[in-house]
Amino acid sequence: MSFREVTRNMSLYLGLLAFVIVAGLSYERGVELLISVLRGAGAFLAIFIFQRVACQIFDAWSAWDETEAAEPVSIEADTYSKSDSRGRD
């Protein structure tokens, strides 16, 4: 079985389990349990998204840092030309 099939089957089983839990318990208790499960899934999703974004930022920062180290920087003593009106007086 492929990963997609396993994921689809797992979501079907979890949906069926949630239905059985809500139907088997009292209405209030089942809804409370379902809400807590959804909160946990939301927290997991938020952590997963934060981790992905943090990894992308770190990778971009690392790549930028490597390019900065690879390019030599030359600093000239006089950065303004005589024709530049913003130059030193």
Residue 32 in contact with residue 21, Cβ under 8 Å?
no
Asked if the model's pLDDT at residue 46 lies above 70, the reply is yes
- Look at residue 70 in the predicted model and tell me its pLDDT: 57
- Look at residue 60 in the predicted model and tell me its pLDDT: 80
Structure tokens at 41: 């899934």
Entry pTM: 0.38
- DSSP, res 87: S
pLDDT (tens digit per residue) in 14-41:
777 777 776 777 777 777 877 887 788 7
Which of 30, 13, 12, 29 lies closest to 21, judged by CA? 30
Task: Indicate the length of the chain as a whole number.
Answer: 89
Q: Angle CA(53)–CA(51)–CA(66) in degrees, nearest 5?
A: 60
- Look at residue 72 in the predicted model and tell me its pLDDT: 60
- The Cα 2–Cα 80 span in angstroms is 64
